[in-house]
Amino acid sequence: MATRGFTGRRPGDEAAARLPPGQYLTQDFPVLQIGATPRIDPDGWRFTLREGSRPLKSWTWPEFEALPRSPWTGDIHCVTKWSKFDTAWEGVTIDDLLADAGLAAPTRFLLAEGYDDYTTNVPVADLTGGKAMVATRYDGRPITPDHGGPARLLVPHLYFWKSAKWLKGLRFTRADEGGFWELRGYHMYGDPWREQRFTGD
C-alpha cells in the first residue's frame, strides 16, 4: 500500500488508511446470513458450473479437494460496516477451477449460488485473474459451518455479501442479474472503496 512508506505518522493511521469509508475495525468474526446454517453432507456435496440451467462441469468433494489450492491473506469488509484485517484463507482460485474444467468463461456475468438458495451476482472479471477463490480453509482449518464451510466464495475486494457461503455453484448468465440482496436494494457491484452499499450509491 502507498501509505506503508510514510514515516512519522501516528500509530493507527495505517489502520485508518486500510479502512474503506464508513467502516470500523473489528477483531472478532461476526456471522451474518439470511437463515439457519444448512447441514451439508460431504457425500452429497457437489460443486457445479452452469450456463443458465445447463451444467458445464461438476465436482464431488474428493474431486474438489484434489484441485490445487492457493493461499490468500487480506482484509474483508461487510456492508454492515465491520472490516476485519489479515484474514487468512486457502482455496481454489476461479482461474484454477476453469482450467480444471477446460473452460473459458462463457459469459461476462454470473450468480454465485448457496445451498441455502442464497444468490449474489459478480462480474466474471472480478473473479478471474487471481481475484477470488472458492475457499475451503480459514486460519489453516476447514471453514466452520457458520462461516460457510465446507466451501464458500471469497471475493475480498467487494463487500462481503458477495462472498456466498455454502457455495453450490456458479451460474453464468448473459446479463448482470441481481441476486438475493441486490434485488432488495443493495448495490449491483458493491465496491467498499466507492461505498457502493445500496442501489444508486
Ligand X SMILES: Nc1nc2c(c(=O)[nH]1)N[C@H]1C(S)=C(S)[C@@H](COP(=O)(O)O)O[C@H]1N2
Residue 30 is a binding residue for ligand X (CB under 6 A): yes
Residue 172 is a binding residue for Mo ion (CB under 5 A): no
DSSP characters over 121-151: EEEGGGTTTTT-EEEEEETTEEPPGGGTTT-
Q: What's CA 1's distance to the chain center, in Å?
A: 22
Count the site residues for ligand X by CB under 6 A. Answer: 18
Q: What's CA 22's distance to the chain center, in Å?
A: 21
Half-sphere exposure of 14 (CA within 13 A, CB side): 9
The binder of ligand X chosen from 23, 89, 109, 114 (CB under 6 A): 114
Residue 182 is a binding residue for ligand X (CB under 6 A): no
Residue 183 is a binding residue for ligand X (CB under 6 A): no
Stretch of 16-24, 76-84, 93-101, 132-140 lying at the interface with Mo ion (CB under 5 A)? 76-84
Residue 82 is a binding residue for Mo ion (CB under 5 A): no
Residue 109 is a binding residue for Mo ion (CB under 5 A): no
**Rounded Cα gap, residues 72 and 63, in angstroms:** 21
Helix (H, G, I), strand (E, B) or coil at 65: helix
Interacting residues with ligand X (CB under 6 A)? 29-34, 78, 114, 116, 118, 147-148, 160-161, 163-166
